[in-house]
Amino acid sequence: MKDERGLYYLPYPQNPQTRMYVVQRSDDIYFRLWNAKDEELWEKHDWVPWGAIRKASEMYDKKGTFDPSQAYDIRVAKALLTENE
C-alpha cells in the first residue's frame, strides 16, 4: 500500500492504525513505524535499517508481547518494494 508517507504494510492486520513504512536505500532496506494514536512516534523515531533490526531481534527473548519478526517483516518489505519498482 502507499500513501503520502510512502510504501507501507500493516504489521498487525487487525490494527490498521499501525503501519510499517519501508524504503530501499543503496545499502539496506529501512523501516519506520507510524501509529494513528501516537502522532509523535513518526517524529521521534527515524528510519531503522534491517541490519540493526536483525541484530536486535537476536536478543529478543520471546517472552514479551512485541515480536520484532512480525512487525519488521523483511519478506513483506522486499515484496512491497519489488511490486512498486
Q: What is the pLDDT of residues 25-38, one digit of tens each?
A: 988 999 999 999 99
For every one of its 85 residues, what pLDDT tens digit does the chain have, with 9 covering 90 and above? 999 999 999 999 999 999 999 999 988 999 999 999 998 999 999 999 999 998 887 776 666 666 677 789 999 999 999 999 8
At residue 5, φ and ψ (nearest 5 deg) are -85, -20
Angle (nearest 5°) at CA 62 between 76 and 29? 30
What is the domain partition of the chain in residue ranges?
Answer: 2-83
Q: How far apart are CA 65 and CA 54, in angstroms?
A: 18
Predicted TM-score of the model (pTM): 0.89
